[in-house]
A and B are shown apart, each in its own frame.
Chain A
């Protein structure tokens, strides 16, 4: 791992700190944890916005080497 990669990792982590604190504070009681879970259930990670059919056609164009 070179110095640039280490710097990127550290910078990435530092930039995440506010989000991480929000996450920890978002479940600071049993009730808040349940609310957080309900929100996640109502808003799961979004669907991908890719054209799977077109990708499948491209994938079928030639056999894998």
Chain B
């Protein structure tokens, strides 16, 4: 998935929202949240591969403006760490709430920070010339609206 993730950021971010919203096939709140978390997990692994590649020290040193690029890399790393922490918090809360669908619905708002950080990562990767389309602001708002 990691090599194909660049073009799919908006699509998969949309999928996180749609899966959270969907009542299709009688899926429970827990199933929908687990699926959305899994898509986010896969996106983050893809993002990690991209960051490792564009922020390799030799690559940064060889760039036209190493200092600026290094700052952006540190920003991307911070954003990635926040996204991972948000996802881990969400997954842990889902496991604690797993026996009660109402409780699972209650922790759905924890998906919001994950969506925000994924969108921020897409924008940061774009500044490195990685072929990542921006996640549209309406989609971020939609996903956050679904989450809350």
A, B: real partners: yes
Contacts A/B (CB < 8 Å), 11 sampled:
A9-B133, A24-B19, A29-B31, A37-B91, A37-B95, A40-B41, A44-B87, A48-B55, A49-B52, A50-B57, A54-B57
**Interchain CB contact under 8 A, B38 and A23:** yes
What residues of chain B lie closer than 8 Å to A62, measured between beta carbons?
67
B60 within 8 A of A: yes
- Considering the complex of A and B, which 3 residue pairs feature the smallest CB-CB distances, nearest first? A12-B7, A58-B70, A45-B44
Q: State the Cβ distance, A23 to closest chain B Cβ, in Å.
A: 5
Chain B residues close to A by CB (< 8 Å): 1, 4, 6-8, 10-12, 15, 19, 27-28, 30-31, 33-35, 37-39, 41-42, 44-45, 48, 51-52, 55-57, 60-61, 66-71, 73-74, 77, 80-81, 83-84, 87-88, 91-92, 94-95, 98, 131, 133
Bound complex: CA A40 to CA B12 (Å): 18
A59 within 8 A of B: yes
Q: A33-B31, A41-B95, A52-B74 are in contact. Are A20 and B66 (CB under 8 A)?
A: no
* Known A33-B33, A33-B35, A58-B70; further 17 A-B contacts with Cβ < 8 A: A5-B133, A8-B131, A20-B15, A28-B31, A29-B31, A33-B31, A36-B38, A40-B37, A41-B91, A41-B95, A45-B41, A48-B48, A48-B51, A58-B60, A59-B74, A61-B66, A61-B67
